[in-house]
Amino acid sequence: ELAFGRNFEDQLAVGNGYAFGATFRLGMGFDWGFVYAKGEAGAGFDLMMRNFGDASCKGRDGPVGMDGWYATGQLYAYVYGELGVRIKIIGLRRNIKILEAGIATLAQGQFPNPWYLKGYAGFKVRVLGLITVKGRLKVIIGEECEMIGKTGLQEITMISDVLPADKSKNADVFDAIQVAFNAPLGQLFQVEEDSGRKTYRVSLTEFSAKEDGNEIIGEQLWNNENDLLVFEPDDILPPEKEITVTVKVAFEERVNGVWKLVTDDQGNALVEEKTTTFTTGEAPAHIPYKNIVFMYPIIDQQYMLPKESNSGYIQLKQGQDYLFGLSGNKDELFFIDENGQEQKAQQFTYNNTTNTLNFSLPVFNTGASYTFRLVTSKIGSGQVAATVEGNVQVADGISMTQNLISGSASTDALFERLKYTFTTSEFNTFKEKINSLNVTNYNTFIDGASNVGFMGLGLSEYEPFGVNDVLGTTYTDNKPLIRLEGIQEDFYYTERVYPLVYKNYPLDGNIRVDRDEADLGMPPIRSFRLSNGYRFNVLNNPSAPYLRTQFPFEWHLAYAYNQDFRQLQYTITNRYLNTGTLEPWVFDKFGYIINGVFPYLEKEYYKVKAEYVLPDKTSGNSAVINYKNEF
């Protein structure tokens, strides 16, 4: 009985509809002293309505149901009652049943056109506990529908949704175009047809986004499930234009192991197509913060090091070519200090191929605040004052535009493209800052989970590091500027860890650790962690005294060494010691790690290279800092 309606299984992934159900129960009792009675009744149902389009039942003409709507479900009901007398026997009150009866029914059905009902009704009557009458009746009305499609595929809808929505207005020019599919493209599925069960797959044959017939260039990205396509234009969508999006998918059938394009009765390829149109809104006259992937100097950056680079850059997510290089205009970049003194960037370019702004940096003072101001000016003798469109950041990644009056009626018109502030460090270079640190405490801790040591540094009060330095932000592509690597010259690594763990790596020719070796390195020289205290304060209280007396990063190389050791030891042990026969050569070759014990930290210095890497760069200037285990 559990198979009832299972011949719909292919259509269930195709049709549209809804399911609902309900149940109720009622019970009551009566007590007339000498005579008592009680009864209970209940009923319930569940029903699924689906739209099967032009699908039909095998052996019948015409579509199923009413305009393709067809229901399947079940209904159940029962009634139970009891009548008896209450008497005393040996001083105790007893209930004596005179009559006990119950009836129940369960029916399953499909309807309408065709109607099909299959059900059972059962009853049981017992009199005075001596006479029992019971029975069961089976009822079948109509013929069960075996669902098939007219072509097997005509009613399958693969393209689910397209965003921005069809006929929508004022779509954000920075929006990506998204297409959702009802099933992963390329995945096999089966459809029951008159000639039997067939296997199909669906592939994308066309995706285009066009404005006035001109195709918009961009990149197609897929999610992991392969059922969502995201199209990211290289530049912003054309402003205040009608965009037409066309999506086509084709069906292929596997015939004798070969995939063939499915065609209709006229020999035309069976293709599902969806076309939508939407209208974009205005393009902003500035660079929104949300359109920045990474940059240098960084928005709201603290402790920018003036001599780490003589050039700056801004990488846009989507190009805004319309802002720059306009005829009769000039693009200029100014850096304005807290006293209002301006310095103009000697070089500024916008690359409309890579969507990158590149510019030279002037000489900055240390310990100062600066405003980055990128403007476009149009030379002319305007008769009215010009307005400046500026950004005010109201939340992370969100900026609000406001118009300000700039100059007098005789000044050139100015359009502010981007504006933000940053502060410089007391030091010109990263090496200067690291070398200024004075260690007051070498701290060693025990990692409770692995029972190995890790180290931190307490410092004399110093200029701290900012959130961009230690964590990264939206404008550094979420990567910190400071990167640490262990310099493995210490006795602990060279004489204790290396011979035990890494000298013969990969072990036995092919035993490797189960981690991405590119993340920490092999051996794991990049196993450093931002301390919890530093993380909390740099995010929530950047002026906290804690940040001025603690080095941000903790040395956790021993933890990573130990993890590698344990995994290699476990794997080699299971490879040879669980085989039943232990060969002597195994211990000769691998006994050092099978019976090995991971060593604790040696009492010595541990050198670390601290590197300052600008956003999207692979290397930078560096300095050496020492950790020390004193226990």
- CB atoms inside a 10 Å sphere around CB 584: 8
pLDDT attached to residue 153: 59
Nearest in space to 263 (alpha carbons), one of 154, 147, 149, 148: 154
pLDDT attached to residue 375: 93
Kindly report the pTM of this predicted structure. 0.67
Residues of the chain with pLDDT under 70: 1-16, 53-54, 89-91, 148-156, 192-196, 265, 379-413, 580
For 304-351, write each residue's pLDDT tens digit.
999 999 999 999 999 999 999 888 888 999 999 999 999 999 999 999
For 517-572, write each residue's pLDDT tens digit.
999 999 999 999 999 999 999 999 999 999 999 999 999 999 999 999 999 999 99
pLDDT attached to residue 193: 64
Q: Which CATH architecture group holds 159-279?
A: Sandwich (2.60)
- CB atoms inside a 10 Å sphere around CB 416: 21
Q: Which residues contact 45 (CB under 8 A, 6 or more apart)?
A: 21, 22, 23, 73, 74, 75, 76
Helix/strand number for the chain, H first, E second: 8, 35
Domains in the chain: boundaries = 6-148, 159-279, 304-423, 430-628
**What number does CATH give the domain 304-423?**
2.60.40
pLDDT attached to residue 580: 67
Determine the Cα–Cα distance for residues 516 and 519; give it in Å rounded to an integer. Answer: 6
- CB atoms inside a 10 Å sphere around CB 564: 25
- 189: helix, strand or coil: strand
Do 304-423 and 159-279 have the same topology in CATH? yes
